[in-house]
Structure 1
């Protein structure tokens, strides 16, 4: 079919739009976009749609309410979602729905999108929502892809897009290494600002893809790959609009005229910041962030290991090195299947007709492809790391790492000079040096209409735990005929298994297989004592339900906070499994085994 105008348009760039790509990544982004649309077979929809009206509100009343809001914000800043749902791609994503939907695309959609320009306008929207009892769902930039994107949890919610008109870098302090940001500042934009101001003595920490909001990623407790990779731990100071329309500043920000809001996060009294992460208790409109000092030198390194059984001894080797800070950044141990997918080509290019049984790829087929196509050659595990500091310090630490890793028979240290310039190694190198990239998009091209959703349990850093989680994931993927892409990411004293399920979002059977696989893994992992640290919108009730100690004491506590701060239940109902009283227990939850189909909660709304 001919390419759509969307497929052939150029990539938006900074500073022309807050959500653009830096010009140094423009050609790479163009190639990434080409790859996305080369594998897309899903038809582009062009028919107009009726907007979804929030349940329990008459259509005429809702349209009248939107008109009133338009009079406050400007009509051009209130958009009714009555147009075709266009999926776009990473740099031109929708803010009306989840472009990587695992349900029917009309399930989790907004009724309208509004664009405030200030904290005061966010307050006005919140007060309006309370007046009409309209559910609202704030996003920073909507690039939380793999976890639900910009989609609201409650169908028909009004999305508050904070990014478009609240994208200012309010301050960068070169003396105390801090910044103050609005929600529309991406990692790309913050990096570009440091370069433009000549602040080479400061680094940012970036996730795998740099187009997301610094505020949004941090509040959702996202991570990056320098020693400052725990973004929530690196924040200092929030400005928050509460669900009643009140505004607070946390930490030292509560002191008028303070001069330490971005340098000391705690202030005096109870530390309240935590309740605004992964919650629906407030809308963050400003956030302070600490920046990493330039370490004066850095050096990437990569090792490969030949056997699946190397996993347990490797993790046990990594643990003391990571806790002792010899391995200074998030330790990444990635599986060979992900390395093949990261080449950016469809699965069918490597395995015409698929594997023999038509299900998940067999180990023999994967290793044959690795031998033929990977510049580093065949392997099962690849470790990506970075050492920081002056040359003599790096040499000492790297020698310690080398001696430990070579205890694994067949371990090989990769010489970067042997790799092509576009190898995945160099993307990991840049990201670990605080330079954002877009390379990570490539493995989504594995299937037509590629979408992804993550399974991400947390465990101790022990070989026995890694083995148990790997077996759990592999067996469940095999059951549902899904290729297995595991990566172990090791923090200081914990380890995340990040498994990305890549599926064809235009195929209902593959969507269902992905969902069934995810739900089964969540329940199996919980029974073994492993909980998710972050999850997709449709899994939030299930994951929250696994944190059930004391008869669900933590959820009861969260619900008490929710009902106190949000008496009308208007702010992001259902996010992270937290439902306000007016929704609670009325059929909105999506627990284990439920597919999320159909409108939730019909017939209960009491005003």
Structure 2
């Protein structure tokens, strides 16, 4: 192997959905190629570089022990389906992402890395891998697609763990029921794939998708991700799961627990979410209690819709905007899960670099943001509200009248329809996402910095102006202290808001990475002191976040640990995921907390 890093950044053909399970539909080929070219032209890091260390081994295993274990697994599921991770690491990009490490690494690239990647082709092969892991005491980390970027991607929490990539060979749409408006999918089914299948069948049904369409439908739901149609709560709209437990046994939830006639599935498995007795589906979301290999979902019927946006003139309008939104959401006037974004987001979603608008190293000033926003279609404003109403034309007009009246008392408010802005404006992307059409537009903001990676800070706040202002002020102050631009997006419901702050950093800048970690550590701690918790976080912050839910002397964590130890006595399934450690690892130096900023080594300090 040459010691010279690979600096080739020439665009390659975009992987297509017709050729690769994780590819892009042909309708987005041009957009994907443009996005990749932009990202790579803004890159100074090598495409790959020689490894500085040998392949990382699972904890406690010698090279000989690991070699024996790998040989054992290859005999069980096929040699081609077990790949040792000893090649140069490639961060790639969204459509060609790694399954070996975190593409948006905030620690050294080779630190949070797996020892091998395994590709099971069926539920039965997943069971074989789980039994193998118990035999050899090797931690395994299941991923669906591995595009959970901003939260750790495909990286194992314990370096040297084995990644169980469920997507490559388990990507079948098992059923789409037009009459029942439901489907059942395997982990590797992306929003792109499900959407295209429904379109190919000519069914008048919608899916609900997040901002980017390349993620796993199943994976996003069990991580409790959200979208933007009336079915935006993805886990709430699931119906039935098949799960491999940590001992290799198989479990079905909901009506799947009752056998159908002649060995078939229950005919109501995707129709009714419950079964008899305790409802257990929730313990398999954001947990390490089982591996979900099949999952049912409810779909929406097509409906007329009208997307729009409002702009607000002043930063200080923020609490009044939230107060106006709350009754609209609680009364069901708002048809979807709307977004409230700061105008700085209008800049970075253009795909232009920060250097276009700003000279120097620090964050953009408010005056620079105003000056740049004046040149954009929505002009100089502060907050932008993106919404969609559903129903026939008359119903939508009535709904819009109510929404306009609610915002009318806020001076300087303006109303915009898609026909009021150019075709390349972000509002047209919201039209698609809010009607269940998966797209790629959100990739554009990654051009903000060279080699851009990002971390999401995602707390929950009540839909009240004073609470929203309090958490916003803390986030703004933290970003100012550590020298980052603030990119706030709020996904707003009637009683709570997901406040998603996107911390964009340069992966080639060690100091930026350290400051990004310090910022998140501080925000998690400060917000928790005010009673605000994150609903989702990067895997390096999961211990800290989990322990902020500490009411009753960590009653919730003690309950989770009790379940973990009962289901997974050998501690093989995703130890540390969501802060839940099995007895074998617990209290032995793996947990991370407020003081862990310079993470040179993940795990016990030997």
For the superposition of Structure 1 and Structure 2, which TM-score range results when normalised by the shorter chain?
Answer: over 0.9
Q: Are 1:55 and 1:602, in contact at CA under 8 Å, matched by a contact in 2?
A: no
Shift of 1:174: 0.3
Aligned partner of 2:177 in structure 1 is 173
Give the corresponding residue for 1:300: 307
The answer on 1:283 being equivalent to 2:279 is no
Unaligned runs of 5+ in 2: 261-265
Are residue 50 (structure 1) and residue 58 (structure 2) matched?
no
Q: Give the match for residue 92 of structure 1.
A: 96
CA contact (8 A) 2:357 2:368 kept: no
Shift of 1:415: 3.9
| 2:135 corresponds to 1:131 | yes
| Secondary structure of residue in 2 paired with 1:489 | strand
| Corresponding residue number in structure 2 for 1:184 | 188
2:536 alignment partner, SS class: coil
1:542 aligned residue = 544
Counterpart in the other structure of 1:407: 409
Q: Spell out the pairing of 1:196-595 with structure 2 (5 A cutoff).
A: 196-199=200-203, 201-257=204-260, 258-295=266-303, 297-351=304-358, 353-354=359-360, 358-372=361-375, 374-595=376-597
Runs of 4+ in 1 over 3 A off after TM superposition: 1-7
1:6 Cα offset (Å): 6.3
Query: Structure 1 pair 166/6, CA: closer, same or farther in 2 (3 Å)?
Result: farther
Equivalence for 2:72: 68
Question: Contact 1:6 / 1:88 at 8 angstroms: preserved in 2?
Answer: no
Q: Give the aligned length.
A: 596
Write the distance in 1 (CA, Å) between the matches of 2:420 and 2:271: 44
> Quick one: which of 89, 95, 111 aligns to 1:107?
111
| Aligned-residue offset at 1:599 | 4.3
Deviation at 1:602, TM superposition (A): 5.5
Residues 563, 569 of structure 1: 8 Å contact kept: yes
Q: Report how far residue 2 of structure 1 moved.
A: 11
- Summarize the Cα distance change of 1:129–1:7 in structure 2 as closer, same or farther, 3 Å threshold: farther
Q: Secondary structure of 1:245's partner?
A: coil
CA contact (8 A) 2:6 2:46 kept: no
Q: For residues 197 and 5 of structure 1, do their structure 2 counterparts lie closer, same or farther at Cα, with a shift above 3 Å needed?
A: farther
CA separation in 2, counterparts of 1:466 and 1:450?
28
| Deviations 1:519-555 (CA, angstroms, capped at 9, x unpaired) | 1111111111100000000000000010000000000
Alpha-carbon separation, structure 2, partners of 1:61 and 1:488: 49
Which residue of structure 2 lines up, in the alignment, with residue 600 of structure 1?
A: 603
**Equivalent pair of 1:7/1:33 in contact (CA under 8 Å):** no
Paired residue for 1:141? 145
Unaligned runs of 5+ in 1: none
Normalising by the residue count of structure 1, what TM-score does the alignment of the two structures yield? 0.97
CA distance in 2, matches of 1:587, 1:88: 32
Q: Classify the secondary structure of the residue corresponding to 2:374.
A: helix
1:12 maps onto 2:15 in alignment: yes
Paired with 1:92 and 1:211, the residues of 2 have a C-alpha distance of 11
How much has 1:61 moved relative to structure 2? 1.0
Please say if 1:154 is aligned against 2:158. yes
Q: Which residue of 1 aligns with 2:263?
A: none
Report the Cα offset of residue 3 of structure 1: 8.7
Counterparts of 1:398 and 1:2 in 2: how far apart (Å)? 56
CA shift at 1:470, angstroms?
Answer: 1.0
Give the C-alpha shift of residue 45 in structure 1.
2.8
**Contact 2:8 2:46 (C-alpha < 8 Å) held by counterparts:** no
Contact 1:346 1:446 in 2 (8 A): yes
Name the SS of the counterpart of 1:8 in structure 2: coil
Give RMSD over aligned pairs: 1.3
